[in-house]
């Protein structure tokens, strides 16, 4: 299967915000996690890949498709689930899927019907296929979203923060579905939730303020930080002091106490406990550095 | 607290571009507001800036623009929900009253600011360079301000209240869009109320109210009085403002400061909980999507159907349709045509009613749903998913276009079903489905399709639903305006011409070819616009026009490029073919060019106006009609006599000015030298080798052919048509200067620095006293006419039919007069049915039968017996009371409804299909106008054909008023007095209405020029009055004497000149006792306004 290769992609908005700066990525088949804080440029990047927005410079190549020049060719093999989307509230999922299938070039009625039924089964909406979309819960709507993205058997599937607002059960089911799909397909999953990437992705990139900070296999990335992360439980009012003295990458509360993680080449001593580097540590170290 | 909401609302609105767009729209529209609202209505002496005219204009513009009010007033509450901010506001300790009041007042102030554009725009309109000062009164600000405050303001308040409350309670954007329309529908409904007072009270725009208030106003009142704040006007305003307040109160009590209003639970669908377990492991079927052109076609149609269905499911759509049908039901209950008489619900009348009434609704559907359909994905936030699909942009746009067409088609079919039901309910069963079909799908459908293409384009261009809708409406308005301003060519005027009226006799006739070509041309243009639309269509996040364009252009696929090029190619071919037809095969003249030509004609040739010319005394014509080619060939011989006291050395021949008419072989019985100096005007001067001495005669031969080629830009030729040819001898070569070619319109003349034209010369004009018609070439002729046409058509003219045969599939008719007739005879040919009868007019001295014939279109049998009866009664009455009937036959012949009049020529009366043949006379309620009109035309066989009047002021009193009198007397014999009174009331109403619109001071009847409301309507009333006062017998006696002394033929005593009203009135005076002489003065010699 062909890789998605992004080279030196840049995009500056009219208001001067540099959404993407010389972004280069290599994305193979499987699940690719795109991690970054809110406003990092993830959605812009995904929309540009999905041909819904123009970049200022750079090249995107999927196999032999030059994406920026041949939108139409890419759309033929694209599945896209935007961060936010709506539906016609008065239509049933069956009808809307059928309509979208037509748009995607599935024009034989019987084939379309078979496909829509199968997809509805797959995303567990078959039972409610005749009900109105307007009454769907967030999770059901999201499952409908993935169903429509799979209609054309895509080579490239882009899902933008798909689990926001889903309860844990829905989230799990959603990821199972994605990982199943990723056996055949390039799946780009953008998220700001580190655990999502850790659980699912075979490769990943961290993006912040329009720059790719790091990319690779999650394990390798974590490997780089191994042996340098330490943890300590401190008093809340000491946090400022520690932040001055150490390179604090994260602070969080645990049972009312403040726990901090710091990075150090040497043991920082005094009740600091060395810990295994997690992906979250990597993420936090990268984005706080910047 | 309310003040905070109030200022917020104003600040918010001032930042929004719509506010300025709306203002500008109203402002610019109002600059030409008076011209728009009063289009085609004569204001006469009433100033364009009189308070009444301003008030009506403001009422109409405000009413038409209620949709803008809806867009401003409907959203302030709704917006909080749309943007999900309601919960943030409602949790605060705000009171309902301050929230609602602040929002309402803030929006209302903004609304007033926007609608003040009407005020400023109209004021500016008065000072535009094209405004003709003579049509205006001196500027007075209060004339604008008072109507704005008293007519527009209360209307805005009512609208604002209703829109605000429905928007707040329904929280649906679509409701906001449609309610502006609903008020308009309300207005239309009030038009159906027959009680005038009730109608005036209930008219939301106060237009009928204003009409009622000012009904009794004189011209001076109209120019000076402000709009009264009393009476029905006050009641009307109180009613609507009160209703507005009531709605506000209801809104206040019903509105709740909560974000979600619980609906009754049974309405909510119960979702089956989706099973949590058991991920379905079945793998998906592998289906390969296809993108070839066949697939694109399938996509096109499936999508079109999808979009169409989604519109059909909208409540708003059904609201519009229901309104449309209600209005049609209310309005078409009266299929009024002329003279307050209904017609039979023939299919073409029904279809014209339906077309007229539904067009507005089609335009609404077009403007709004083109906006809806283009942004439907964006409106529900499905756009990113939609845009990322591999659907071709052109297929996408086209499918939306097709969906709208499908909607129109569905509405049209239901209108047709409605029309058929209406006919059935009226006991009329001759449904002509083809006429229905073509009426909608040939006449209206292409027009809608083209405007839909434009509407979609504006949506894509502006990238905004509201602005797109406004741009569409503005575009339509501009197009109407452009038509008036002289971009007349069908290739420039968007959409081309409309199709000529359908006629039962001639169908669409020859107009169809040109129409179809022009429509094809514009549809190709529209397709290119559609392609451009697909390029410009927002796809994804890019909204900047330039970026969309470059991006769209770059993404055009090869097939689409090929298709575009093919379209451009076909467009050029169609355009070229049309241009070849309109401008190469035919000549295209703009109105400006035509006017210049007329001006130059007058400048150059006026010198010859009274150059003595011989008079025609005998006409011999062989005319071959070719209706299927719309052609004719004429070989003619005139015998002309010099009736002037001086020898005539030059013959001036004016050929008919029409490019396809050729005049050849003009040969005289003596040597002539043609002078072609005025060839440009088709005016040739033949210098006679030997002058024509006074009293001498000579012969002139000529050939004239007419053979049209291709089609013209705005073809209005209805003389020779496939079925229903009717024209008269005015097409034949004429002698000398033709005043009818001069520029007529006073404003046009002024533009060329010409003085206004006199409609009639004064009663002592020595030249015109010797003319019975403008530029008359004759004082009576004998006619020998051999006319042939294509079998099975019948050809007719004046005179006795002395021979008839068929040869080579052509029918020949030989007509000859047995006496002198005036130089006025028709050429008629159509496929006729004939009703024959005969009678012996009771006053004729010879015991000869007169043949009575009615030539009519099959299916138009309704009123034949009324016509026949009227002919008999008329011949009896006139021959007894005036003089014997002079001919041996009287024929009525039907001609197509392109023109709607009846006309009397020697022994033949061409009668329009539209006048009388399909009138549905209800003898209880209505007046038998068929009987009356027939009697009027038969009377012209005396007044006009036996006796001619001099071509001076008062001429029409002799010709038309006497015909009215005669017809009334015949009518009176058959119908009871109440019918006569009903008829007189109709005349009075028409007269009063026309008098208000007349731009001329009224003159006495005896000096009437071209004011038809005087010589027809007032004339009828005056003559009726006269015979009441001095007795019918006395009037008849006077007329009998008048006719005897002044008849044109067989009258050696007749003075050399023709008669005038001075003569006629003298005859009246002779039979009237002294005590009523003043009545004659009052009725005819003074202006008596019949109050």
Looking at chain B from residue 337 to 376, which residues have their Cβ under 8 Å from any Cβ of chain A? 376
Examine the pLDDT at B518 and tell me if it is beyond 80. Answer: yes
CA dist., res. A93 & res. A128, Å (int): 8
Give how far the C-alpha of residue B667 lies from the chain's centroid of Cα atoms, to the nearest Å.
Answer: 45
Examine the pLDDT at B274 and tell me if it is beyond 90. Answer: no
- B551 close to A (CB below 8 A): yes
CA dist., res. A102 & res. B1, Å (int): 53
Contact residues, chain A, for B557 at CB < 8 Å: 72
Cβ distance B706 to B720 under 8 Å? yes
- Counting runs of H as helices and runs of E as strands, what totals does chain B give? 39, 18
CA distance A88 to chain B (A): 6
Residue-level pLDDT at B319: 72
Residue-level pLDDT at B418: 85
Question: Which residue in A53, A102, A135 is closest to B271 by CB distance?
Answer: A135
The confidence band for B1067, taking pLDDT boundaries of 50, 70 and 90, is: very high
- Contact call for B381 and A86, based on CB within 8 A: yes
Instruction: Identify which has the larger pLDDT, B547 or B668.
Output: B668
CA distance A128 to chain B (A): 6
Question: How confident is the model over B340-356, as pLDDT tens digits?
Answer: 566 777 787 788 878 87
Pairing of strands B683-692, B800-807: unpaired
- Contact call for A128 and B380, based on CB within 8 A: no
Question: How confident is the model over B968-1016, as pLDDT tens digits?
Answer: 999 999 999 999 999 999 899 888 888 877 778 889 999 999 899 999 9
Examine the pLDDT at B141 and tell me if it is beyond 80. Answer: yes
- A12 close to B (CB below 8 A): no
- Contact call for A122 and B282, based on CB within 8 A: yes
Q: Which two tokens stand for residue B972?
A: 């009176």
- B390 close to A (CB below 8 A): yes
The confidence band for A289, taking pLDDT boundaries of 50, 70 and 90, is: low
Cβ distance B539 to B547 under 8 Å? no
DSSP string, B604-660: HHGGGTT----EEEEEEEEEEEEGGGTEEEEEEEEEEE--SSS-EEEEEEE----TT
The confidence band for B450, taking pLDDT boundaries of 50, 70 and 90, is: very high
- A171 close to B (CB below 8 A): no
Region for residue B638 given its phi and psi (left: phi exceeds 0; alpha: psi -120 to 50; beta: otherwise):
beta
- Contact call for A85 and B381, based on CB within 8 A: yes
- Contact call for A128 and B274, based on CB within 8 A: yes
- Contact call for A125 and B274, based on CB within 8 A: yes
Cβ distance B92 to B1 under 8 Å? no
Cβ distance B77 to B167 under 8 Å? yes
Q: What is the mean pLDDT of chain B?
A: 87
The confidence band for B882, taking pLDDT boundaries of 50, 70 and 90, is: very high
Tell me the range of A43-47, A65-69, B412-416, B889-893 where mean pLDDT is highest. Answer: B889-893
Contact residues, chain A, for B306 at CB < 8 Å: 99, 102
Q: Which two tokens stand for residue B756?
A: 């206004």
Question: Which residue in B269, B299, B542 is closest to A102 by CB distance?
Answer: B299
Mean pLDDT for the stretch of residues B303-310 = 93
Q: Least CA distance to B551: which residue of chain A?
A: A54
Contact residues, chain B, for A104 at CB < 8 Å: 289, 389-391
Examine the pLDDT at B277 and tell me if it is beyond 50. Answer: no
Residue-level pLDDT at A248: 85
Least confident of B1-15, B162-176, B254-268, B698-712: B254-268
Examine the pLDDT at B129 and tell me if it is beyond 70. Answer: yes
- Contact call for A131 and B269, based on CB within 8 A: yes
- Contact call for B385 and A80, based on CB within 8 A: yes
Examine the pLDDT at B281 and tell me if it is beyond 60. Answer: no
Quote helix, strand, coil % in chain B, to nearest 5.
55, 15, 30
Which one of B172, B287, B298, B380 makes the best mutation probe of the A interface by having the most chain A beta carbons within 10 Å? Answer: B287
Question: Which residue in B303, B388, B554 is closest to A102 by CB distance?
Answer: B303
Residue-level pLDDT at B272: 52
Instruction: Identify which has the larger pLDDT, B622 or B323.
Output: B622
Mean pLDDT for the stretch of residues B210-221 = 83
Question: Which residue in A81, A124, A152 is closest to B289 by CB distance?
Answer: A152
Residue-level pLDDT at B821: 93
Residue-level pLDDT at B276: 47
Residue-level pLDDT at B903: 93
CA distance A100 to chain B (A): 8
Contact residues, chain A, for B381 at CB < 8 Å: 84-86
- Contact call for B268 and A99, based on CB within 8 A: no
- A118 close to B (CB below 8 A): yes
Question: How confident is the model over B823-848, as pLDDT tens digits?
Answer: 999 999 999 999 999 999 988 887 78
Residues in Cβ contact with B336 at an 8 Å cutoff, skipping those fewer than 6 apart: B342, B343
Examine the pLDDT at B287 and tell me if it is beyond 90. Answer: no
**Which of A145, A106, A105 has its CA nearest to residue A125?**
A145
Taking one residue from A and the other from B, the number of pairs with CB-CB distance under 8 angstroms is 145
Instruction: Identify which has the larger pLDDT, B639 or B65.
Output: B639
Instruction: Identify which has the larger pLDDT, B958 or B554.
Output: B958
Residue-level pLDDT at B336: 53
| Tally of CA atoms within 13 A in the half-sphere of B458 that contains its CB | 24
Cβ distance B902 to B910 under 8 Å? yes
Q: Is B81 exposed, middle or buried (0-12, 13-18, 19+ CB in 10 A)?
A: middle
The confidence band for B485, taking pLDDT boundaries of 50, 70 and 90, is: low
Give how far the C-alpha of residue B969 lies from the chain's centroid of Cα atoms, to the nearest Å.
Answer: 34
- B196-204 LR contacts (CB < 8 Å, sep 24+): B197/B232, B200/B232, B200/B236, B201/B232, B201/B235, B201/B236, B201/B239, B202/B236, B202/B239, B203/B236, B204/B63, B204/B155, B204/B158, B204/B240
Residue-level pLDDT at B340: 59
Q: Least CA distance to B544: which residue of chain A?
A: A14
Residue-level pLDDT at B271: 53
Mean pLDDT for the stretch of residues B660-686 = 91
Mean pLDDT for the stretch of residues B448-464 = 92
Least confident of A56-60, B39-43, B789-793: B39-43
The confidence band for B265, taking pLDDT boundaries of 50, 70 and 90, is: very low
Question: Which residue in A54, A84, A140 is closest to B381 by CB distance?
Answer: A84
Alpha helices by DSSP H, A35-167: 42-49, 71-76, 93-103, 109-122, 138-149
Question: How confident is the model over B859-876, as pLDDT tens digits?
Answer: 899 899 999 999 999 999
Contact residues, chain A, for B539 at CB < 8 Å: 52
How far is CA B290 from each of CA A71, A110, B297, B740, B874, rounded to the nearest angstrom? 16, 14, 12, 69, 80
Residues in Cβ contact with B262 at an 8 Å cutoff, skipping those fewer than 6 apart: none
Residue-level pLDDT at B872: 95
Mean pLDDT for the stretch of residues A8-18 = 89
Cβ distance B970 to B1072 under 8 Å? no
CA distance B301 to chain A (A): 10
- Contact call for A104 and B390, based on CB within 8 A: yes
- B275 close to A (CB below 8 A): yes
- A244 close to B (CB below 8 A): no
Residue-level pLDDT at B268: 44
Tell me the range of A222-231, B265-274, B446-455 where mean pLDDT is highest. Answer: B446-455
- Contact call for A107 and B290, based on CB within 8 A: yes
At residue A205, what are phi and psi to the nearest 5 degrees?
-145, 150
> Strand, helix or coil at B676?
strand
Within a 10 A sphere around the Cβ of A237, how many other Cβ atoms? Answer: 8
Q: Which two tokens stand for residue B415?
A: 């209108």
Does the N-terminal peptide bond of residue B345 adopt cis geometry, omega within 30 degrees of 0?
A: no
Least confident of B453-467, B540-554, B617-631, B692-706: B540-554
Question: In chain B, what percentage of residues exceed pLDDT 70?
Answer: 94
Residue-level pLDDT at B959: 94
Q: Is B721 exposed, middle or buried (0-12, 13-18, 19+ CB in 10 A)?
A: buried
Pairing of strands A247-254, B810-816: unpaired
Interface ipTM: 0.89
Pairing of strands B778-790, B810-816: antiparallel
- B388 close to A (CB below 8 A): yes
Residue-level pLDDT at B280: 53
| Tally of CA atoms within 13 A in the half-sphere of A36 that contains its CB | 28
Region for residue B1016 given its phi and psi (left: phi exceeds 0; alpha: psi -120 to 50; beta: otherwise):
alpha
Contact residues, chain A, for B389 at CB < 8 Å: 75, 100, 103-104
* Cross-strand partners of B806: B811
Q: Is B601 exposed, middle or buried (0-12, 13-18, 19+ CB in 10 A)?
A: buried
**Which of B626, B583, B1036 has its CA nearest to residue B843?**
B1036
The confidence band for B260, taking pLDDT boundaries of 50, 70 and 90, is: low
Within a 10 A sphere around the Cβ of B451, how many other Cβ atoms? Answer: 22
Q: Would you give the DSSP letter of residue B923?
A: T
Q: Which two tokens stand for residue B371?
A: 């906006």
- Four-residue CA torsion sign, B719, B724, B728, B733: positive
Mean pLDDT for the stretch of residues A59-72 = 90
pTM of the full structure:
0.82
Residue-level pLDDT at B35: 80
Residues in Cβ contact with B510 at an 8 Å cutoff, skipping those fewer than 6 apart: B630, B708, B711, B715, B721, B722
- Contact call for B272 and A128, based on CB within 8 A: yes
Q: In angstroms, how far apart are the furthest CA atoms of chain B?
A: 120
Q: Would you give the DSSP letter of residue A123?
A: T
Residue-level pLDDT at B303: 93
Residue-level pLDDT at B264: 43
The confidence band for A241, taking pLDDT boundaries of 50, 70 and 90, is: confident
Question: Which residue in A107, A118, A127 is closest to B282 by CB distance?
Answer: A118
- A75 close to B (CB below 8 A): yes
Instruction: Identify which has the larger pLDDT, B81 or B1075.
Output: B1075
Question: Which residue in B272, B276, B386 is closest to A169 by CB distance?
Answer: B276
How far is CA B976 from each of CA A33, B107, B267, B1027, B1033, rounded to the nearest angstrom? 98, 63, 67, 17, 19
Exposure letters B316-354 (e unless 16+ CB within 10 A, then b):
bbebbbebbbebbebbbeebebebbbbbbbbbbbbbbbb
Contact residues, chain A, for B386 at CB < 8 Å: 100, 103
Contact residues, chain B, for A178 at CB < 8 Å: none
Question: How confident is the model over B1018-1034, as pLDDT tens digits?
Answer: 999 999 999 999 999 99
Least confident of A252-261, B9-18, B171-180, B961-970: B171-180
The confidence band for B459, taking pLDDT boundaries of 50, 70 and 90, is: very high
Question: How confident is the model over B586-630, as pLDDT tens digits?
Answer: 888 888 888 999 999 999 999 998 899 999 999 999 999 999 999
Region for residue A30 given its phi and psi (left: phi exceeds 0; alpha: psi -120 to 50; beta: otherwise):
left
- Contact call for A80 and B388, based on CB within 8 A: yes
Query: H or E stretch including A168?
Result: helix A168-181
Cβ distance B675 to B685 under 8 Å? yes
**Which of B732, B767, B750 has its CA nearest to residue B609?**
B767
């Amino acid at each position: 299967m062909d890789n998605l290769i992004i080279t030196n992609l840049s995009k500056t908005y009219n208001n001067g915000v540099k959404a993407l700066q010389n972004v280069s990525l290599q994305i193979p088949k499987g699940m690719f996690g795109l991690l970054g804080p809110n406003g990092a440029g993830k959605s812009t990047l995904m929309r540009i890949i999905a041909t819904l927005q123009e970049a200022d410079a750079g090249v995107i190549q999927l196999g032999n498709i030059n994406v920026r020049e041949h939108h139409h060719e890419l759309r033929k093999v694209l599945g896209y689930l935007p961060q936010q989307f709506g539906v016609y509230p008065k239509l049933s999922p069956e009808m809307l899927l059928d309509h979208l299938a037509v748009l995607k070039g599935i024009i034989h009625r019987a084939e379309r019907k078979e496909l829509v039924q199968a997809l509805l089964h797959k995303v567990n909406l078959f039972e409610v296929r005749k009900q109105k979309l307007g009454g769907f819960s967030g999770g059901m709507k999201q499952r409908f979203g993935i169903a429509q993205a799979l209609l054309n058997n895509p080579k490239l599937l882009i899902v933008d923060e798909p689990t926001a607002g889903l309860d844990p059960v829905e989230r799990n089911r959603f990821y199972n579905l994605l990982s199943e799909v990723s056996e055949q397909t390039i799946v780009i999953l953008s998220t700001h939730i580190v655990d999502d990437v850790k659980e699912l992705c075979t490769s990943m990139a961290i993006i912040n303020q329009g720059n790719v900070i790091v990319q690779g296999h999650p394990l390798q990335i974590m490997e780089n930080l191994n042996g340098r992360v330490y943890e300590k439980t401190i008093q809340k009012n000491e946090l400022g002091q520690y932040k001055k003295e150490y390179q604090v990458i994260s602070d969080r509360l645990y049972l009312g106490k403040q726990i901090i993680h710091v990075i150090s080449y040497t043991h920082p001593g005094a009740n600091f406990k060395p810990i295994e580097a997690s992906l979250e540590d990597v993420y936090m170290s990268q984005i706080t550095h910047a | 607290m309310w003040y905070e909401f109030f200022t917020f609302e104003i600040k918010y609105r001032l930042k929004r571009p719509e506010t300025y767009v709306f203002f500008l729209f109203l402002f610019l529209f109002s600059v030409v507001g008076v011209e728009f609202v009063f289009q085609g209505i004569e204001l006469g002496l009433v100033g364009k800036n009189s308070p009444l005219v301003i008030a009506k204009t403001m009422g109409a513009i405000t009413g038409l623009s209620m949709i803008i009010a809806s867009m401003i007033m409907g959203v302030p509450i709704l917006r909080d929900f749309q943007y999900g901010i309601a919960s943030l506001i409602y949790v605060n300790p705000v009171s309902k009253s301050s929230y609602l009041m602040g929002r309402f007042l803030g929006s209302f102030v903004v609304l007033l600011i926007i609608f003040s554009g009407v005020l400023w725009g109209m004021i500016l309109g008065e000072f535009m360079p094209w405004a003709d000062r003579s049509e205006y009164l001196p500027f007075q600000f209060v004339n604008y301000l008072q109507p704005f405050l008293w007519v527009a303001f209360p209307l805005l308040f009512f609208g604002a209240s209703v829109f605000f409350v429905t928007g707040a309670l329904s929280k649906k954007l679509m409701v906001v869009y449609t309610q502006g329309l609903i008020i308009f529908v309300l207005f239309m409904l009030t038009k159906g109320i027959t009680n005038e007072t009730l109608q005036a009270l209930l008219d939301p725009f106060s237009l009928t109210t204003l009409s009622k208030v000012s009904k009794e106003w004189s011209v001076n009142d109209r120019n000076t009085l402000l709009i009264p704040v009393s009476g029905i006007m006050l009641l009307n305003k109180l009613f609507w403002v009160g209703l507005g307040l009531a709605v506000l109160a209801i809104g206040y009590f019903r509105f709740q400061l909560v974000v979600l209003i619980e609906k009754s639970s049974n309405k909510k669908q119960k979702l089956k909980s989706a099973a949590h377990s058991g991920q379905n492991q079945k793998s998906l079927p592998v289906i390969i999507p296809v993108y070839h052109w066949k697939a694109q076609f399938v996509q096109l149609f499936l999508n079109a159907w999808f979009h169409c269905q989604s519109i059909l499911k909208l409540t708003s759509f059904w609201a519009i349709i229901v309104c449309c049908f209600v209005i049609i039901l209310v309005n078409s209950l009266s299929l009024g045509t002329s003279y307050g008489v209904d017609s039979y619900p023939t299919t073409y009348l029904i279809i014209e009613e339906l077309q007229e009434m539904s067009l507005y609704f089609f335009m609404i559907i077009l403007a709004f749903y083109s906006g809806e359909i283009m942004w439907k994905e964006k409106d529900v936030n499905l756009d990113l998913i939609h845009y990322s699909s591999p659907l071709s942009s052109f297929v996408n746009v086209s499918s939306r276009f097709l969906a709208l067409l499908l909607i129109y088609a569905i509405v049209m079919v239901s209108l047709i079903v409605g029309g058929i039901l209406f006919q059935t309910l009226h006991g009329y069963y001759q449904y002509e489905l083809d006429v229905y079909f073509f009426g909608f799908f040939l006449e209206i459908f292409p027009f809608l399709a083209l405007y839909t293409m434009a509407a979609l384009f504006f949506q894509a261009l502006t990238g905004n639903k509201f602005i797109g809708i406004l741009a569409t409406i503005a575009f339509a308005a501009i197009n109407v305006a452009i038509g008036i301003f002289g971009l007349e060519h069908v290739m420039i005027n968007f959409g081309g011409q409309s199709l000529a009226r359908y006629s039962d006799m001639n169908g669409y006739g020859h107009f169809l070819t040109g129409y179809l070509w022009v429509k094809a041309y514009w549809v190709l243009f529209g397709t290119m616009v559609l392609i451009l639309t697909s390029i410009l269509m927002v796809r994804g996040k890019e909204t900047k026009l330039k970026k969309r364009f470059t991006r769209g252009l770059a993404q055009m696929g090869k097939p689409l490029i090929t298709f575009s090029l093919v379209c451009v190619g076909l467009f050029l071919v169609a355009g070229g073919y049309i241009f070849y037809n309109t401008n190469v095969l035919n000549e295209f003249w703009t109105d400006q060019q035509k006017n210049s030509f007329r001006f130059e004609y007058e400048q150059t040739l006026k010198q010859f106006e009274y150059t003595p010319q011989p008079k025609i005394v005998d006409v011999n014509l062989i005319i071959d009609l070719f209706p299927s080619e719309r052609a004719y060939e004429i070989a003619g011989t005139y015998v002309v006599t010099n009736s002037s006291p001086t020898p005539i050395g030059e013959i001036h021949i004016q050929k008919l000015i029409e490019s396809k008419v050729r005049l050849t072989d003009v040969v005289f019985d003596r040597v002539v030298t043609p002078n072609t100096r005025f060839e440009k005007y088709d005016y040739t001067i033949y210098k006679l080798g030997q002058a024509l001495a006074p009293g001498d005669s000579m012969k002139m031969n000529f050939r004239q052919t007419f053979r049209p080629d291709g089609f013209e830009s705005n073809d209005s030729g209805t003389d020779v048509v496939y079925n229903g040819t009717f024209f008269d001898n005015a097409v034949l070569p004429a002698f000398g200067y033709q005043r009818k070619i001069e520029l007529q319109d006073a404003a046009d003349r002024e533009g060329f620095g010409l003085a206004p034209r006199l409609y009639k010369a004064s009663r002592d004009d020595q030249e015109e006293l010797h003319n019975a018609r403008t530029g008359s070439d004759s004082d009576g002729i004998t006619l020998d006419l051999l006319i042939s046409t294509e079998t099975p058509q019948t050809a007719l003219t004046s005179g006795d039919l002395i021979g008839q045969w068929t040869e080579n599939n052509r029918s020949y008719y030989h007509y000859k007069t047995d006496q002198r007739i005036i130089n006025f005879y028709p050429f008629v040919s159509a496929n006729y049915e004939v009703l024959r009868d005969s009678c012996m007019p009771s006053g004729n001295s010879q015991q000869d039968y007169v043949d009575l014939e009615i030539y009519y279109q099959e299916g138009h049998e309704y009123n034949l017996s009324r016509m026949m009866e009227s002919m008999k009664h008329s011949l009896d009455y006139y021959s007894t009371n005036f003089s014997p009937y002079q001919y041996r036959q009287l024929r009525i012949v039907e001609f197509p409804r392109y023109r709607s009049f009846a006309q009397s020529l020697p022994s033949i009366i061409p009668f329009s299909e539209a006048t009388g043949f399909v009138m549905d006379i209800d003898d209880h309620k209505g007046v038998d106008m068929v009987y009356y009109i027939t009697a009027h035309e038969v009377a012209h066989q005396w007044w006009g054909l036996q006796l001619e009047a001099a071509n001076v002021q008062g001429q029409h009193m002799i010709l038309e008023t006497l015909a009215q009198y005669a017809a009334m007397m015949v009518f009176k014999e058959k119908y009871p007095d109440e019918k006569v009174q009903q008829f007189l009331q109709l005349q009075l109403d028409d007269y009063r209405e026309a008098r208000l619109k007349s731009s001329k001071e009224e003159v006495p009847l005896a000096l009437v020029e071209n004011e038809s409301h005087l010589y027809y309507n007032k004339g009828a009333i005056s003559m009726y009055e006269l015979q009441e006062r001095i007795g019918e017998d006395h009037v008849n006696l006077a007329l009998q004497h008048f006719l005897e002394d002044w008849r044109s033929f067989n009258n050696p005593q007749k003075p050399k000149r023709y008669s005038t009203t001075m003569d006629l009135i003298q005859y009246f005076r002779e039979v009237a006792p002294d005590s009523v002489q003043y009545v004659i003065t009052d009725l005819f010699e003074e202006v008596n306004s019949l109050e």
